[in-house]
Amino acid sequence: MLKKCAIGFIGAGAMAEAILEGLLKRREITSNQVSMVNRGDRDRMTTLVKRYGLEVAKQTIDHVALADVVILAVKPKDAEEALTFWQNRLRPGQLVISVVAGITTQTIEEFVQNGVAVVRAMPNTSCAVGLSATALCGGRAVTEQQFAMAERIFMSVGSVVRVDESAMDAVTGLSGSGPAYIYYMAEALQTAGMHAGLPAETARQLTVQTLLGAAHMLMESGKEAEQLRREVTSPGGTTMAGLEVLRRFDVAEAMKMAVLRAKERAGEMGKRGGC
């Protein structure tokens, strides 16, 4: 299905690249199917053209306008300007997939012509390695076939859940921003390992493998996180001592507040075009 599809990107930043990289790595598409434009950073486009073997002649507004699927990947603060520019260039029958945090399908539909289908997606940068957690919701004019196309794109770079649009800001707070929370934790663990006397590279290796192993256990063991945690925690042992410190600092509450604040921020960005 994707092999016959011309894919256009409006925006050439971190998220556009992660999606592109994932689709190419998984061989879902080839580089000659891709057109991408940004606002003006030519060096960035040259880098992407070289890195992914994109056809220079296709990286134009006209080619993006002809794409079957157009992925909108600009910052929320730039969405209005981009949509104003693109409103008469996008055509009925095209599918627009927006990954812009906070901006609703209804807002996008107010810009584009009738008949342009809109899907809102909230992936994360793990698209680049085929492991995004993506949530999708459809706008007013999207057909099941078009929605299936969006599902196919994001399933090829990770897992997909379909949600009601009212859940999208919560998704953004959890899994859209989530990789950064995990990287923050990884930085903290690595630094902690160094404080405990390990060389930097050893602390890094042990941190990464511990995160990877724990993620696989969560995926494959069929056990809940709570049970897995209990299995590591011997009564009176080292883990119990460590967890007591995390509880004293109320890390669970901090995590909850982080997700809620990120969700709230998504709502703010949608309303005011902030960020």
Ligand X SMILES: NC(=O)C1=CN([C@@H]2O[C@H](COP(=O)(O)OP(=O)(O)OC[C@H]3O[C@@H](n4cnc5c(N)ncnc54)[C@H](OP(=O)(O)O)[C@@H]3O)[C@@H](O)[C@H]2O)C=CC1
Ligand Y SMILES: O=C(O)[C@@H]1CCC=N1
Binding-residue pattern over the window 167 to 206 for ligand X, x denoting contact by CB under 6 A: ---------x------------------------------
CA distance between the termini of the chain: 35
Beta bridge partners of 162: 136
75 contacts ligand X (rule: CB under 6 A): yes
Question: Quick one: what does residue 41 bind among ligand Y, ligand X, none, with the CB cut-off 5 to 8 Å set by partner type?
Answer: ligand X
Strands in 105-144 per DSSP E: 117-122, 132-138
Q: Please give the residues from 161 up to 220 whose contact with ligand Y meets the rule CB under 6 A.
A: 172, 176-177
The least CB distance from residue 212 to ligand X, in Å, is 20
Determine which residue in the list 2, 7, 15, 48 makes contact with ligand X, applying CB under 6 A: 15
Which of residues 2, 7, 12, 170 is near ligand X by CB under 6 A?
Answer: 12
Place of tokens 């995004």: 132
Collapse the DSSP code of 70 into the 3-class scheme (helix H, G, I; strand E, B; otherwise coil) and give the result.
Answer: strand
Q: How far is the CB of 168 from ligand Y (least distance, A)?
A: 11
Under 8 Å between Cβ of 140 and 109: yes
Chain position whose Cβ is nearest to ligand X: 13
Paired with 92 in beta bridges are none
Look at residue 33 and give the partner it binds from ligand X, ligand Y, none, a contact being a CB closer than 5 to 8 Å depending on partner kind. none
Residue 253 is encoded by which pair of tokens?
């509450």
Task: Tell me the residue type at 23.
Answer: L
Asked whether the beta carbons of 168 and 100 are under 8 A apart, the reply is no
Binding site for ligand Y (CB under 6 A): 101, 172, 176-177, 275
